[in-house]
Structure 1
Amino acid sequence: MRYWLIGLLFLVACDTGTTSFSGGKELVLSDTSRDASCTYMTRNAQGQIVVSWVENEQLYYAVSPDEGLTFSKGKLIPTTSGIQAHPENMPKMVFRPNGEVIAMYGTQSGDPRNKYAGKVYYTRSVDAGANWLPAQPLVTDTASYDQRYFDMALLPSGEAVTIWLDNRKNDTKEGSTLYIATTGKAPGFQKERQIAQTVCQCCRTALYVDADGGLHATFRDIINDTIRDMVHIVSADGGATFSPPVRISADNWAINGCPHTGPALVKNAQGLHFAWFTMGGGQGVFYCQSPDNGITYTRRESISALPTAKHPQITALKNGDLALVWDEAVDTSGSRIGIQHKAGNGEKIAAGFITSADAYANFPVLKTVGEGKVLVAYKKVKGKREEVCVQLVTL
């Protein structure tokens, strides 16, 4: 199968009906003398915002003591190396309540059976990041030569859980298998097992734990051999069992290729909320919701006027409102970060952009900070360098 990136660019003027958001000063977190990419955002055990990124094939992170106003200098995780800097397969970190920190990342596999194959490694710190243990492979089974597009989260028990795409499967159908593993009594991840098959081989997966302990996974599935639409599964028992995959939207995107743009989800009092990219029945970033925990889904709605919109992320604010971010190519030399503010029921309140059209900024991630604010991190091209930037945005 040939893997390829869909990159249709459209010449447009400017979007209409947008709102100017109040953005704070753009901060550059990475070393400006080196290329940086693969932004990710989480919180540590003390509740502080942590932004991580890749520089020189290693993982760095910075901590904010004041909800995104300032950040510490980027700190290297020395036991990471050979990271493949793919913004849809970005490294991730989890900070467990017991002081353990886990950093997970992907490398190239170099396996002759698949030139695109990757390997997933993780490294642990048992003292809140002061020292790091040697990196180890997520999978030790020699039948597995390709692991990619992982996600991690914390369970209510304080254990960490991860999902990833794996070449191991029980049939000859197109696609990868979605695996899951959790931490437990022994160090590291254990009890790996399959939870879904025929998954699109190169789109980011999304793992989310809701306030009730429900474990949700969303990914692009391959349906009837040709259709690559987003599906949702949920576990009420900590990942021991999952519901059957259900399409969040019948886009019917028939494509023999890989879009390299995955889904995002979050839950508030009104239900589950999803954002994703498709070229089925229209092109761009779309949104829908499920008021009943994945039984039914609302009709999708387009998030951006431009069909080049991709790579969405979504979060819930403290009051239950929603914020979505994405990137969109404006022409052949520019890309900007879009943002939309929604009410808790999904109704649009405002939309706009936090970077200029000629800035070439993309792959945003976000976290709620304070009341009515989000912190957005993204990659931005400046001169001949790629930088990791953050910006506080008031909705």
Structure 2
Amino acid sequence: MKKILFLLLFAACIGPAQAATSPAHDMTQMWQAMLAKPAMAVGAAFDEDGRLWRAQVRDGHLWVSNSDDAGANYGEPVRVNAEPEAIAADGENRPKLVAKGGALYVSWTRSLDKPMTGDIRFSRSLDGGRSFSVPVTVNDNREIISHRFDAMAVNAKGQVYIAWLDKRDLSEARKSGKEYAGAALYYAVSDDGGKRFRRNVKVANHTCECCRTAMALDTDGVPVVAWRHVYDGNIRDHAIVKLDGKATMARLGQENWNVAACPHHGPSISIAKDGAYHAAWFSNAPEKRGLFYAYSTDQGKTFSTPLNFGKPAVQAAHPAVFSLGERVHLAWKEFDGEHTRIVAMSSGDGGKNWSAPASLASTADASDSPLLIERKGRVYLSWNTKNEGHRVIEANQ
């Protein structure tokens, strides 16, 4: 079942030229079936007081609830969007949630009726989660095209940054009969805590169109974004850039994976107070296959030699990284044909040496990708599964 789903998602992201040579599929029917699936992906975050906040999708609504005992019990959930909409909450998409300074910020991708299309949505709560603002659409291009796979961060100044993958440039290229590989990376920033957003800004052309983006705040409060990029020759390795208007895009991985479709497998990035960048990603290049981790101590100008981790034989996938400085955590999924496990390991010296991998949790049915979150200097795994529900498990070893 996992392989079938992967192939469907893989085929769904193939461009028109490749799709013409693929077996015929009713893309609209497949898209509607995907939208009708139960929402597995959950957003979660701890606030400064250690209270856990959770964002889940149910019946076309985003619901936010909180727990004072790290997920053992939750209060009554609060509905974010009054009007129902198709909210992407599976695979590479999850609702994003930030809890900071007594406010809550949520972003998500609203799926539209046309296959593989969507809009980026945002709402906030300024009263401790008791109510939420009317959701707004962040992308200022309103074509029925793909604006999807959002990432969000909120800095200490109250600036809200949201980045996503956007196909407006592909749409323009097609109108003039030109070729355009993949999508583009765009972002928008709000300087007033999410009340208003500035115009959309393009960061890079030719991103892989169905792999999640990742975002983390640098020590100066400006975010860094990582994504899978389409390099010359259809090489789909990862890139990274700081959204300060000065930094140039840097290549994160050098696996040289040549693939004529989107792998649906984006990166993860984390930056702690020491300023070191930590990144994890997946590649299936013939010579460099599996999961990879690297760190940078010069703000992404150079990275350490990537560490290849996880076991390809058990489909190691969807890594998450979280840094607290010298203490760095990795978690990922493995599937042995019957059970999916979340496996984790940690480093106590900034990513130079690592503990032996250890299993944190397992399930025998559908599950979300791992999410690592922090509570007062301790790292936790947030993981939602069909059989066991949402679990929050301490990841410290």
TM over 0.5: yes
The 8 Å contact of residues 58 and 76 in structure 1, kept in 2 or not, is answered as no
Greater fraction of residues in strand: 1
Following the alignment from structure 1 to structure 2, what is the Cα–Cα distance between the partners of residues 242 and 218?
16
Partner of 1:387: 389
For structure 1, list consecutive stretches of 5 or more residues without a partner in the other structure. 8-33
Q: CA deviation at 1:282?
A: 3.1
Identity percentage of aligned residues: 24
The 8 Å contact of residues 140 and 199 in structure 2, kept in 1 or not, is answered as no
Q: Which amino acid aligns with 2:359?
A: F
Q: CA deviation at 1:354?
A: 1.2
Match of 2:318 among 311, 314, 317: 311
**Structure 1 ranges of 4+ moved more than 4 A:** 357-362
Following the alignment from structure 1 to structure 2, what is the Cα–Cα distance between the partners of residues 359 and 177?
34
Specify which structure has the bigger relative contact order, considering alpha-carbon pairs within 8 angstroms and separated by 6 or more residues: 1
Q: Which amino acid aligns with 2:120?
A: V
Tell me if 1:377 matches 2:382. Answer: yes
Q: CA deviation at 1:71?
A: 3.7
Following the alignment from structure 1 to structure 2, what is the Cα–Cα distance between the partners of residues 369 and 139?
32
Q: Which amino acid aligns with 1:184?
A: D
Following the alignment from structure 2 to structure 1, what is the Cα–Cα distance between the partners of residues 304 and 234?
24
Q: CA deviation at 1:287?
A: 0.7
Partner of 2:116: 116
Following the alignment from structure 2 to structure 1, what is the Cα–Cα distance between the partners of residues 189 and 222?
15
Partner of 2:203: 195
Change (3 A) 1:351 1:306: same
Following the alignment from structure 2 to structure 1, what is the Cα–Cα distance between the partners of residues 222 and 123?
27
Q: CA deviation at 1:138?
A: 1.7
Q: Which amino acid aligns with 1:390?
A: V
Structural mapping, 1:122-271, within 5 Å: 122-143=122-143, 145-169=145-169, 172-185=179-192, 187-235=195-243, 239=244, 241-268=245-272, 269=274, 271=276
Following the alignment from structure 1 to structure 2, what is the Cα–Cα distance between the partners of residues 299 and 276?
13
CA RMSD of aligned residues (A): 2.7
Partner of 1:324: 330
Q: CA deviation at 1:155?
A: 2.2
Cα deviation per residue 1:8-29 (whole Å; 9 max; x = unaligned)?
xxxxxxxxxxxxxxxxxxxxxx
Q: CA deviation at 1:145?
A: 2.8
Following the alignment from structure 1 to structure 2, what is the Cα–Cα distance between the partners of residues 74 and 364?
25
Cα deviation per residue 1:344-393 (whole Å; 9 max; x = unaligned)?
3311123211124746644111113345x4221112232xxx72222223
Alignment partner of 2:42: what SS? strand
Partner of 2:110: 107
Following the alignment from structure 1 to structure 2, what is the Cα–Cα distance between the partners of residues 205 and 260?
11
Q: Which amino acid aligns with 2:152?
A: M
Structural mapping, 1:290-309, within 5 Å: 290-307=296-313, 308-309=315-316
Partner of 1:28: none
Q: CA deviation at 1:311?
A: 1.1
Q: Which amino acid aligns with 2:79?
A: I
Change (3 A) 1:225 1:294: same
Partner of 1:27: none
Q: CA deviation at 1:336?
A: 0.9
Cα deviation per residue 1:235-274 (whole Å; 9 max; x = unaligned)?
4xxx4x0422211121101011111121111124372111
Match of 1:55 among 38, 42, 58: 58
Number of corresponding residues: 353
Alignment partner of 2:75: what SS? coil
Partner of 2:357: 351
Q: Which amino acid aligns with 1:141?
A: N
Cα deviation per residue 1:37-87 (whole Å; 9 max; x = unaligned)?
212222336453323222233222332324x26442351324163213324
Cα deviation per residue 1:162-212 (whole Å; 9 max; x = unaligned)?
101111227532111111111135823222211111010011101110223
The 8 Å contact of residues 101 and 124 in structure 1, kept in 2 or not, is answered as yes
Following the alignment from structure 2 to structure 1, what is the Cα–Cα distance between the partners of residues 154 and 45?
11
The 8 Å contact of residues 315 and 367 in structure 1, kept in 2 or not, is answered as yes
Partner of 2:44: 41
The 8 Å contact of residues 35 and 56 in structure 1, kept in 2 or not, is answered as no
Q: Which amino acid aligns with 1:351?
A: P
Following the alignment from structure 1 to structure 2, what is the Cα–Cα distance between the partners of residues 38 and 130?
23
The 8 Å contact of residues 40 and 386 in structure 2, kept in 1 or not, is answered as no
Following the alignment from structure 1 to structure 2, what is the Cα–Cα distance between the partners of residues 107 and 362?
18
Following the alignment from structure 2 to structure 1, what is the Cα–Cα distance between the partners of residues 386 and 289?
25
Q: Give the TM-score normalised by structure 1.
A: 0.81
For structure 2, list consecutive stretches of 5 or more residues without a partner in the other structure. 1-6, 12-36, 174-178
Following the alignment from structure 2 to structure 1, what is the Cα–Cα distance between the partners of residues 218 and 50?
17
Partner of 1:282: 288
